[in-house]
Amino acid sequence: MKTTTLINKEDKLVVLTGAGISAESGIKTFRDSDGLWENHSIEDVATPSAFTRDPSLVWDFYAARYNQILEVKPNPGHYALKQLEDHLGDNFLLITQNIDGLHRLAGSKNVLEMHGSIDKCYCNKCEKTISTADVIAHRPASNSKTERYPSILKNKHQWFKCSKCSGLNRPDIIWFGEIPYHLDEIIARLRECTIFLVAGTSGVVYPAAQFLLMAKQHGAKTIGINLDAPMNVDFIEEFHQGKSGDILPSLVKKWIE
């Protein structure tokens, strides 16, 4: 679809990004056939009860995710959104469902990470914050390729134990059953935005999936970019099918010319 949109400095733009834009940088998504949750059910690694039941398994899983993210870089889609932020300043807000920090790495400042960030942790008792890098720095090397690390360790919780109290550090990630961050601020911005752009989302994960309709109901023009039509495509006025990294750079150039 051809774009007829021009984004002026007076426009208030809210962007929502999902796993699709990170997948283009090489990060697996849990919806891939060989994806993020392979060999693990959601209940085993991405719920508060999973952490209570087996925190070592959860940390083993997220340590692998963290190390993978250290090896990837932002793609042209991330940088195109940074260009939009440079154009609009405080009239730009980026909401992301992704936990990888690639938007911040690309230079975006006005970012709300509604599902948290994998590079941060906090104690499940005293809530002291710490970087994931500092936690993983205490992770002992596995001494067996055949045994699952770190559950085999005698003191298996010791390396991610809080230094202040008897609690355990956990990834600062919103798990299934938990309330996303920044919802009040997000809703306020959706009510006043003039353009709502959604990129790389399937339109099935709530509450983010309802942001599109909320913005539209308050008068915003809605634009979507995704490899496949999302479930809520009927609420998108201008849909561009394809990869964000391929489409966004040329669209942004037209939008702000």
Catalytic residue numbers read: 115
Q: Are strands 129-131 and 116-123 parallel, antiparallel or unpaired?
A: antiparallel
Neighbouring CB atoms inside 10 A of 72's CB total 15
Q: Distance (Å, rounded) from C-alpha 150 to C-alpha 141? A: 9
- For Cα atoms 78, 94, 230, give the angle at the middle one, nearest 5 degrees: 80
Element holding 232 (H helix, E strand)? none
* Bridge partners, 116 (sequence order): 173
Residues 247 and 27 sit within 8 Å (Cβ to Cβ): no
Q: Token pair of 83, please?
A: 């260009």
| Tokens standing for residue 188 | 């306020």
Please report the DSSP string for 167-185 in residue order.
-BEEEEEPPTTSPPTTHHH
Residue found by looking up tokens 């994931």 in the block:
132
Query: Can you tell me the distance from the alpha carbon of 246 to that of 178, in angstroms, rounded to the nearest whole number?
Result: 34
Q: How would you list the strands of the sheet with 169-173, edge to edge? A: 129-131, 116-123, 169-173
Question: Any residues with CB less than 8 A from the CB of 103 and at least 6 apart, and which?
Answer: 17, 74, 78, 81, 82, 94, 96, 111
What Rg, from alpha-carbon coordinates, does the chain have? 20
Q: Phi and psi at residue 88, in whole multiples of 5°?
A: -105, -20
